[in-house]
């Protein structure tokens, strides 16, 4: 439970003025068509009141979600579960704050918190790099840890270093730290969570294993065996040298269901596609349970989530209807590509700071599965993608401009929908273009 630290009168005044200045900057950003303004608001807020984040978190019940892939969707699912519980108990909705737009660094979280000063509960998507700070500042009750994959290689570098920072933060927090809901299929997550005072493990039946070859504890090779649970898609793992091994999970994904600790079977029946979203729902359900939300109420709330921060949303671009899928790294592409079932597929690639400058990961994605489809490569790094598609034997067109690429994709049949898979920066541009 968070400990309330009451700021001084001077501190409260500074926070109030900083919030007003940030809100004005956000309004100007929206008026100029430069985005929601959440980032600039939070940046200015923290610059004028450096201790604002801790003050805004004080006294709140906090649940956090982090991981390389799926954290925006999982946070939306968890927030929907908590919101449904609050609604069922007659608590006003403004008592819940959630950084729904996915702004998950210090400034984005501060911006979201400042929007609802009356909130007593916060469900926060948290970037991997700021998890340790939020454990210290927010004293969360629940921390959901999803996965670790190579992402933004020029910024995050070796993912083990991030896992180590989580491990240290949880150890320092001790009994005051969060209950960790951890993906048991991810060796680095399991190792990072070991120092928490309590861990609830979820068997997510993860398919992607290419980012976990070496033991994070000792560096030896990891061994994997076939799953022994019905309907499982992943594989049980253990270190070949030390005692680190996949723990027994109290929550399990079995095909399209989630099995709870008491053996009850929950069928999420989400409005979101993909087996990986069932895994996200399992983690959100376990987190909600720890947070005191009745699982039946939690599932009902999660079913209301449709297009979290534009993911899986459908929009009209001129004469073309397109569904937007976000894929930031090889693990994300491995999940997104099977969902692209339209005759024409648009692949949008950039290497801005938010995407990561290094696009060598393109060679780890199995684009070969798109052979025989109509493929359009677009975005500032379309030429790099075109080379990869050529080696994959995938016929394609290279149209760097996003708008022109969408028009080209719909040229044959404007009534036929188009799936668009994009990295972060073009995905955000497409959201804006499509009004999502």
Q: Which residues pair with 251 in a beta bridge?
A: 202
Burial of 227 from C-beta contacts in 10 A (0-12 / 13-18 / 19+): middle
- 242 assigned ligand-binding residue: yes
C-alpha to C-alpha distance for 294 and 85, rounded to whole angstroms: 8
* Radius of gyration of the chain, Cα coordinates, nearest whole angstrom: 22
The secondary structure element, H or E, covering residue 386 is helix 382-392
- 283 assigned ligand-binding residue: no
Q: DSSP per residue over 295-359, as a string?
A: HHHHHHHHTT--SGGGTT-EEEETTEEEEEEE--SHHHHHHHGGG--SSEEEEE---STTT-S--
The secondary structure element, H or E, covering residue 216 is none
C-alpha to C-alpha distance for 310 and 326, rounded to whole angstroms: 9
**Are 91 and 78 within 8 A, CB to CB?**
no
- 398 assigned ligand-binding residue: no
**Are 334 and 365 within 8 A, CB to CB?**
yes
Q: Which residue has the tokens 């629940």?
A: 142
C-alpha to C-alpha distance for 374 and 395, rounded to whole angstroms: 7
Neighbour tally for 243: CB within 10 Å: 8
Please identify which of the residues 94, 154, 176, 358 carries the catalytic annotation: 358
- 218 assigned ligand-binding residue: yes
Tokens linked to 187: 């060796």
Sequence-ordered alpha helix ranges (H) in 234-291: 275-290
Phi/psi at 110 (5° precision) = -60, -40
Burial of 429 from C-beta contacts in 10 A (0-12 / 13-18 / 19+): middle
Decide if 358 is catalytic.
Answer: yes
Tokens linked to 159: 């993912």
DSSP 249: P
Which residues are documented as binding site? Answer: 215, 218, 239, 242
Known binding-site residues for Zn(2+) equal 215, 218, 239, 242
Catalytic residues: 358
């Amino acid at each position: 439970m968070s400990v309330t630290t009451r700021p001084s009168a001077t501190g409260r005044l500074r926070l109030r003025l900083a919030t007003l200045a940030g809100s004005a900057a956000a309004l100007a950003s929206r008026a100029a068509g430069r985005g929601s303004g959440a980032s600039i608001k939070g940046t200015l807020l923290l610059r004028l009141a450096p201790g604002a984040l801790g003050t805004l978190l004080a006294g709140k019940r906090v649940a956090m979600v982090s991981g390389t892939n799926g954290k925006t969707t999982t946070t939306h699912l968890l927030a929907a579960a908590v919101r449904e519980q609050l609604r069922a108990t007659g608590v006003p909705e403004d008592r819940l704050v959630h950084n729904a737009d996915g702004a998950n660094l210090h400034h984005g979280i501060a911006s979201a918190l400042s929007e609802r000063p009356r909130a007593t509960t916060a469900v926060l998507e948290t970037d991997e790099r700021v998890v340790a700070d939020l454990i210290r500042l927010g004293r969360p009750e629940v921390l959901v840890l999803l996965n670790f994959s190579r992402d933004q290689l020029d910024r995050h570098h070796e993912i083990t270093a991030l896992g180590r920072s989580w491990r240290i933060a949880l150890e320092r927090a001790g009994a005051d730290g969060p209950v960790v809901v951890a993906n048991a299929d991810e060796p680095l997550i399991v190792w990072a969570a070991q120092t928490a005072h309590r861990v609830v493990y979820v068997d997510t039946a993860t398919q992607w294993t290419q980012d976990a070859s070496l033991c994070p504890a000792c560096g030896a090779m990891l061994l994997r065996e076939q799953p022994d649970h019905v309907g499982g898609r992943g594989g049980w793992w253990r270190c070949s040298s030390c005692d680190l091994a996949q723990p027994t999970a109290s929550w399990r994904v079995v095909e399209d269901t989630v099995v709870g600790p008491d053996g009850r079977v929950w069928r999420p029946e989400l409005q979101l596609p993909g087996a990986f979203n069932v895994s996200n729902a399992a983690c959100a359900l376990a987190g909600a349970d720890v947070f005191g939300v009745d699982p039946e109420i939690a599932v009902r709330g999660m079913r209301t989530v449709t297009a979290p921060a534009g993911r899986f949303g459908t929009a009209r671009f001129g004469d073309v209807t397109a569904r937007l899928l976000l894929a930031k790294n090889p693990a994300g592409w491995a999940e997104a590509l099977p969902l692209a079932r339209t005759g024409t597929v648009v692949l949008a690639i950039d290497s801005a700071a938010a995407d990561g400058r290094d696009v060598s990961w393109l060679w780890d994605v199995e684009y070969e599965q798109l052979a025989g489809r109509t493929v359009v490569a677009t975005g500032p790094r379309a030429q790099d993608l075109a080379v990869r598609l050529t080696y994959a034997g995938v016929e394609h067109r290279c149209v760097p401009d996003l708008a022109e690429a969408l028009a080209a994709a719909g040229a044959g049949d404007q009534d036929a929908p188009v799936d668009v898979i994009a990295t972060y920066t073009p995905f955000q541009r497409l959201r804006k273009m499509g009004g999502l």
